[in-house]
Structure 1
Amino acid sequence: MMKNIIEQTESFIRKYGMIEKDDVVIAGVSGGADSVCLLFILCALRNKIGFQVMACHVNHGIRGAEADADEAFVKELCRQLDVPSRFFHKNVELIARKRKQSSEEAGRAVRREAFETMCREDGGTKIATAHHRDDNAETVLLNIARGTGLKGLCGIRPVRGKWIRPLLALGREQIEDWLREQKITWCTDATNAEDIYTRNRIRHNILPALREQVNEGTVRHLEELSVQAQEVWEYLEQGTKQAWERCVSLPRTGEHKNEGQGSSTPVYGEAYGGLLIGREAFRHEMPAVQKQLLKVCLASVRGGEKDIGTVHLNALAELFDRQCGKVLDLPGGVTAGRIYEGILLGKQDGDEKGNSGKTNGAAEVKPEEVRLNIPGVTFLPDGIHKVICRFVDAADADKAKEIPQKSYTKWFDYDIIKCSLSARTRQSGDYLVVDEKGSRQKLKSWFINEKIPRENRDKMLLIADGQHIVWIPGHRMSRACQISNRTEKILEIKITEDKKNVREDQSAGSGREG
């Protein structure tokens, strides 16, 4: 058994090119079964492959005497195996409070920092952790449950830069059986038996139920899924890099930067203050590549993938089909502007939310715009307003006069709508249609004539059809969209809002031509 498990791990190491001659491998050794197995196998292979092994142990300062006993165990083990070692002491609970993280997150972070420190100070070239097949299955299930894309299905990768996982081909039971056969002892962390951590609940409840009640090969099948996902992900990444070359450029800086003419191709995945994504080139890419390219571009401007979700990528993709001048606010103070050539991404100067109102290499910052679900319900970002849209039978057009004269319900001639309706605050170029002849009035002029306080103008909710403001809830609607005897499709829009801010008198009436 010992020979087989070592040979199996060696084959896995060579398959992925994890360790080469003259490498210095920093092994994370907690004292648990997995890390003890890792250390023994690395020591068995170090002379054969020609690398050095060093051990790194982190005492989290959580379990008191038990943690100290684990540290003493690892020290003695390293002495017996003639493995140089370093021991780090961290107050993980204090660090978690300071960083506003859970103890799990803080623990992972301090271990990672300790490994990196050893690499930097002790000449390490690789960092080996003791993740195995069951850990990978737990990770895939956790990612699925929390919501994930293809990347999350990849689970734990065998190699990621200098980080390697030599035991991924082994299962937890296989590891522990081998240690018992070799009469090798290990430490048991009592917290691993508790179900207070999400991963432990998957380990103790979900995976056993899947094995016993669905398929005993669940872990192996999840591993196979993970490997397939990794292969597809690598292919997708390669395609995304090629698409970056075709679609992405740096915006031209200077007086006419809003024209967005690109100059040179930026380096894939590097940080930039602004990027231009060309519309024509982008639309020829495959959908999977399009979405991943948008994520890479957004992360490059934002400075990381944190808080970037599917909803943001979908909104960004939809922006390509919107009118020039449309602008979308995205996480991390990033603004996406629709221009003639495509989409211009820029990072707002100032704080995380971009309160300065200025961007670096992108279009001017404009208010967030939310496309309405027609028919359907749209929740607005302020958490207060909800917009409900439904179609009304044209035969009921005469009932328009019966609609209560309140600010939150209106009927519109949907046949007149040219673009997708959106809820937003004002933008440059907005206008109203003020009479039956189609005469236009700038929204700014309307604000002045109606004596709307300047400090309120940027906050007022508008329902817009492109630059055409079809409704100012609480005030008036555009004459162009009022229903008539010629109307074939009627759209009802109802807005729930804080009624203390609602003005009951409306100059445009019920929404029907008189």
Structure 2
Amino acid sequence: MDTEFFQQFKTFITKNKLVSFNDKILLAVSGGADSVVMAHLFHKLGFSFSFAHVNFQLRGDESDGDEHFVRNLAHQLNVPVHVKLVDTKAFAYEHHLSTQVAARDLRYAYFDELCQENGYTRVVLGHHLNDQVETFFINLMRRSGLKGLGGMPLARNKFIRPLLFARRSEIEQYARHQGIAFRNDSSNDGDLYLRNKIRHQLVPPLEENLPGFSDALASGMNLLKDDAELIQQVVAEKKQSLFELKGEENHIQVSELKKLHPLHTWLYYLLSEFGFNSEVLQAATEAVLNSESGKLFGSRSHRMVVDRSEIIIVPLAQNQVAQTNWIDIDQTEVQFPVHLHLEEIENSPQLTIKVSNNMALFDRDKLHFPLLLRPWQQGDRFVPFGMKGSKLVSDFLIDQKISVVEKEHVFVLVSGDEIIWVVGHRAGNHSSVTEKTLKVLRVRNS
């Protein structure tokens, strides 16, 4: 088995031309089974390489133990090692990111930094077949297009993933048979994160009832990836005729968009580079087809205005970015610009929750993610819970006797283009819980 696994690895990187002996190689080593086995395989093949390790300081002594382990492994294999200590939680707070996204951004930024400083031509990542399958379901839940459903690329720019052919169990079995020690990440044990839920609850029954499921899905993902690349080429050509750049704004004529079918798919490929997700683009599609005017949508970096005659894509100014945050579908906490806790619960006749101004309940399935958390603005309207007609937020704040100073610290939570909560003051009627609600999203302001 061990010899077979090694030969599979050797054949895989050779067939796909992932790396050569002329490359200057950087291995991303966390201390887990995948990256440690990868290091031993590269060493066995005779490659020269260096290690890169990021201590995210998220698991206390365990994180420090990982760093110590990686340093010892580098000494054992006689390879150089680069280590960076980062304050992930502070970075996440400062840049309004989830902890997972912050860790990923810090990691890749460090790799880029090392490549620039040391001339590395290949950065080797330890993702394997199970990671790929989990990524498919994560992107499916987020309503991704073909590009997302195609999963992680085998090679992109300097980054390569030579273990995508192998299952986690095969990698760990190779480690045991070869006497290779590795670290276990305790954060992978629970089901707090969506990836862990998929790993522990969704994939095992599929594998049990459909033998070979993961291999078949991985093959299908490769086909989807090829389709996505072909579509991107067609879209790139169409962009040249559709987009008109005016300063920093991109303008697209609605009359030209209406000639494209299916429009939602076209908009996904035309506009996803600006950070708009599938749900936002579906709402934008309906606005275009219904000739609606003045519809406003947002992403982490851009604002989109849908008017009767054109769509305008505007980059957010730095001060706007600093005062806004986006809440993803699986996020449980927001620390900036106000502190929110989010919890998904099942609805039932027995469910009784005392609602206050600092807590709001929403029908989870009616929400359009990501939710936008931003300061209220003049002209904002919402339908206060219990009322039928809309009301200006400015008038609502006056009625509530909110002082001028306090108004500067009032934020609204937005789903699609509907304000669903004036945070800490009043929920809106939009996406409210009814007897037909299956899943409730409870949001608390603390």
TM-score (norm 1): 0.57
**Residues 282 and 290, structure 1, Cα contact 8 Å, conserved in 2:** no
Residue type at the aligned position of 2:232: E
Aligned mate of 2:226, from 211, 227, 231 = 231
> Of the candidates 151, 154, 175, which is equivalent to residue 147 of structure 2?
151
Could you tell me which amino acid in structure 1 is paired with residue 123 of structure 2? I
2:12 alignment counterpart? 12
Contact 1:333 1:351 in 2 (8 A): no
Contact 1:133 1:168 in 2 (8 A): yes
Q: Match of 1:335?
A: 305
Measure how far apart 1:21 and its partner are: 4.5
Return the alpha-carbon distance in structure 1 between the equivalents of residues 286 and 197 of structure 2: 39
Kindly state the Cα deviation for residue 237 of structure 1 after the two structures are TM-superposed. 0.8
Structure 2 CA distance for partners of 1:10 and 1:291, relative to 1, 3 Å: farther
Aligned residues: 338
Q: Deviations over 1:328-376 (max 9, x none)?
A: 323133323443xx655555879649x9xxxxxxxxxxxxxxxxxxxxx
Secondary structure class of the residue paired with 1:275? strand
TM-score (norm 2): 0.65
- Give the corresponding residue for 1:105: 101
Structure 2: tracts of 5 or more residues without a match:
324-365, 369-379, 393-428, 431-446
Is 2:235 the counterpart of 1:240? yes
Residue 33 (structure 1) aligns with: 33
Q: Note the 1:131-210 alignment, pairs <5 A.
A: 131-210=127-206
Q: Is the 8 A contact 1:243 1:293 kept in 2?
A: no
| Contact 1:247–1:282 under 8 Å retained in 2 | no
CA separation of 1:183/1:79 partners in 2, compared to 1, >3 Å: closer, same or farther?
same
Matches within 5 A, 1:457-476: none
Give yes or no for contact 1:133–1:169 (8 Å, CA) kept in 2. yes
2:341 is aligned to: none
Deviations 1:79-107 (A, max 9, x none): 22222111111233333344443333332
- 1:464-490: per-residue Cα shift (whole Å, max 9, x none)? xxxxxxxxxxxxxxxxxxxxxxxxxxx
- Kindly tell me: are residues 349 and 69 of structure 1, through their superposed partners in 2, closer, same or farther at Cα, counting changes over 3 Å? closer
**Corresponding residue of 2:73:** 77
Change in CA separation of 1:293 and 1:103 when aligned onto 2, cut-off 3 Å: closer
Q: Distance in 1 between matches of 2:312 and 2:110?
A: 40
Higher relative contact order (CA 8 A, sep 6+): 2
Asked whether 1:275 is paired with 2:251, we answer yes
> Does the CA contact (< 8 Å) of 1:294 and 1:316 recur in 2?
no
Distance in 1 of aligned mates of 2:391 and 2:313: 20
- CA apart distance, 1:39: 0.8
CA contact (8 A) 1:336 1:344 kept: yes
Distance 1:37 1:277, change over 3 A: farther
Partner of 1:309: 277
Q: Does 1:116 align with 2:92?
A: no
* Residues 281, 16 of structure 1: alpha-carbon distance in 2 compared, 3 angstrom cutoff: farther
Instruction: Please identify, of 276-285 and 103-112, the stretch whose mean Cα deviation from structure 2 is larger.
Output: 276-285
Output one character per residue of 1:437-486: Cα deviation in whole Å (capped at 9) or x when no partner: xxxxxxxxxxxxxxxxxxxxxxxxxxxxxxxxxxxxxxxxxxxxxxxxxx
1:108 match: secondary structure: helix
Task: Summarize the Cα distance change of 1:83–1:385 in structure 2 as closer, same or farther, 3 Å threshold.
Answer: same
Letter in 2 for 1:195: D
Q: Return the offset for 1:171.
A: 0.5
Instruction: Provide the rounded CA distance (Å) in 1 between the counterparts of 2:279 and 2:191.
Output: 32
Separation of aligned partners in 2, 1:171 and 1:350: 43
List gaps (5 residues or longer) in structure 1.
254-271, 356-376, 387-406, 410-422, 426-495, 498-514
Mapped partners of 1:114, 1:64: distance in 2: 21
SS in structure 1 at match of 2:57? coil
SS at match of 2:5: helix
Cα displacement string for residues 246-289 of structure 1 (whole angstroms, at most 9, x for unaligned residues):
433335x8xxxxxxxxxxxxxxxxxx423334734861566576
Q: State the alpha-carbon separation in 1 of the partners of residues 191 and 281 from structure 2.
A: 35
Instruction: Indicate conservation of the 8 Å contact 2:263/2:285, yes or no.
Output: no
SS in 1 for 2:238: helix
SS of alignment partner, residue 192 of structure 2 = coil
Aligned pairs for 1:303-382 (under 5 A) are 304-305=274-275, 308-318=276-286, 326-331=293-298, 332-339=302-309, 343=311, 345-346=313-314, 352=320, 382=381
Contact 1:34–1:175 (8 Å) recurs in 2: yes
* Letter matched to residue 334 of structure 1: M
What's 1:222 paired with?
A: 217
Note the C-alpha offset of 1:383: 4.0
Q: Which amino acid aligns with 1:163?
A: F
What is the CA–CA distance in structure 1 between the aligned matches of 2:42 and 2:256, rounded to whole Å? 52
**What is the one-letter code of the residue matched to 2:60?**
G
Using the TM superposition, give the Cα deviation of residue 241 of structure 1 relative to its aligned residue in structure 2, in angstroms: 1.1
